[in-house]
Amino acid sequence: MKRGYMNKRSLFAGMIGTLAVAAFGAWFVYSTDAQAPPPAQPVPQVVVSTPLQRQVDSRLGFLGQFSAVEQVELRAQVGGTLTGVYFKDGDIVHKGDLLFTIDARPYEIRLAQANAQLEAATARLALAERELNRAQVLATRAFGTEQTVDQRTADQRGAQAAVDDAKAQIRDAEFDLEHCRITAPFTGRIDTHLVSVGNLIAGSRAATTPTTLLATLVSLDPIWLDFDMSESDFLQYSGHRARSKDGAADKVEIALSDETRFARQGSLDFVDNALNRSSGTIHARATVANPDHFLTPGEFARLRLTVGAPVQALLVPDSAVLPDQAQHIVMTVAPNSTVVPKQVEVGDVRGGLRVIRSGLSPNDRVIIDGISHATPGAKVVPQNGTIRYAAAAGAG
């Protein structure tokens, strides 16, 4: 019994010794690691280049919306039953194309009645003229009275008025008959027809009388691009236009919302005669050729307007310009290879590059690649790169 107790005690003492040795070893390793200096971090590499210098003109950018030069609601000027629809919804129709027909039989009957009235009035006029001539002859021979001549003259004039009225009734009936055929007043795109064949439609020549809307037609070539200028932009445009003599100030460049190139051209041909007091803007409009009917009224587009002569400017990649709240920062590398941020004033994009209006000098080395590794005040390893102007981008 005593021997077993001694064996357990020896085993317990051995375990304590083993744990003590392991703890001492762990403390020794930790102490050694804590005293060892951390490995040096590698200095990041960046690509730098001086800003590209190029002659660029001053431009203003706007957002505009296309609208149709001509737009008309097709409504009937005569009432009746719709007998035909001669287009497909959304078609391009040309001036003079037949679009709708209305039952013409009631108006044909009315025209026939007017012709009959003209024939009767013409016959009465011929009789009145003969009687007037006879009365005048008798009066000259003292076989008739002046009173009779006056009566026959009045009858002749009344018959002439009846003839004139009958002719007017014929023109009126012909007008109604012609408007039983509704044609396109100009070339453009028509929307869906709103009335089907067989429906009774209301028509009237008076604008105040309710009529049935049949369809809407809009022209497509040319097309207008409407936009608004702020007062300061308008002053810049007006000053440049006053100095320009070749009409260059009225030329605009246009790009659709899904286009990066300003490949479309237009002409600024309208500026309103007063600024809007509530918004402080003035409405303007450019006319754009649209021979392929690709542009559609209601679409939005970006446009640029030149407002200044070309001047020397600095350009850097747009990715090298960092937004800082309401400001913009460009990272540069000083001669001692430290990163120096510079606040800049930016312009628009030209040839894929951002115009820098102020804040940079031509000799500054701008970080154009590896900017994510550039920390202000940190050391970097600069490598020379090149900034290229993408003339094919259509932004120059």
Contact partners, residue 125, CB within 8 Å, separation at least 6: 156, 159, 160, 162, 163
Do 326 and 211 lie in one domain? The reply is no
pLDDT more than 90, % of the chain: 38
Do 341 and 360 lie in one domain? The reply is yes
Buried-state track 227-246, b at ≥16 Cβ within 10 A, e below 16? bbbeeebbebbeebbeeeee
- Tell me the backbone φ, ψ of residue 213, rounded to 5 degrees: -80, 125
Which pLDDT score is estimated for 80?
Answer: 92
CATH of the domain at 90: 2.40.50.100
Do 94 and 144 lie in one domain? The reply is no
Do 250 and 173 lie in one domain? The reply is no
How many distinct structural domains can be found in the chain? Answer: 4
Which pLDDT score is estimated for 63?
Answer: 93
What is the C-alpha separation between 164 and 155, in angstroms, rounded? 14
Q: How confident is the model at residue 35 (pLDDT cuts 50, 70, 90)?
A: low
Q: Mark which of 241, 271, 306 sits at the end of a domain.
A: 306
pLDDT more than 70, % of the chain: 86
Q: Is residue 31 part of a domain?
A: no
Rounded mean pLDDT, 171-197:
93
Rounded mean pLDDT, 24-30:
48
CB atoms within 10 A of CB 209: 9
Q: Mark which of 218, 234, 266 sits at the end of a domain.
A: 218
Do 386 and 372 lie in one domain? The reply is yes
What are 207-220's pLDDT values in tens digits?
677 889 999 999 99
Report the range of poorest mean pLDDT among 283-292, 295-304, 382-391: 382-391
Do 256 and 214 lie in one domain? The reply is no
Mean pLDDT across the chain:
83
Rounded mean pLDDT, 265-290:
92
Do 91 and 211 lie in one domain? The reply is yes
Do 287 and 195 lie in one domain? The reply is no
Contact assessment for residue 291 and residue 276, using Cβ atoms and an 8 Å cutoff: no
Q: Mark which of 306, 328, 349 sits at the end of a domain.
A: 306
CATH of the domain at 167: 1.10.287
Do 97 and 110 lie in one domain? The reply is no
CATH of the domain at 274: 2.40.30.170
Which pLDDT score is estimated for 248?
Answer: 65
Which pLDDT score is estimated for 18?
Answer: 53
What are 242-256's pLDDT values in tens digits?
887 766 668 899 999
List the domain range (segments joined by +) for residue 386: 46-57+310-393
Q: How confident is the model at residue 67 (pLDDT cuts 50, 70, 90)?
A: very high
- DSSP letters, 128-184, are HHHHHHHHHHHHHTTSS-HHHHHHHHHHHHHHHHHHHHHHHHHHHHHHHHHTTEEE-
Do 259 and 370 lie in one domain? The reply is no
Q: Is residue 130 part of a domain?
A: yes
Checking if the pLDDT of 386 tops 60, the result is yes
Which pLDDT score is estimated for 318?
Answer: 87
Do 214 and 241 lie in one domain? The reply is no
What are 133-181's pLDDT values in tens digits?
877 777 777 676 777 777 878 888 888 898 899 999 999 999 999 999 9
3-state secondary structure 22-69: HHHHHHHHHHHHHHCCCCCCCCCEEEEECCEEEEECCEEEEEEEEEEC
Rounded mean pLDDT, 374-396:
77
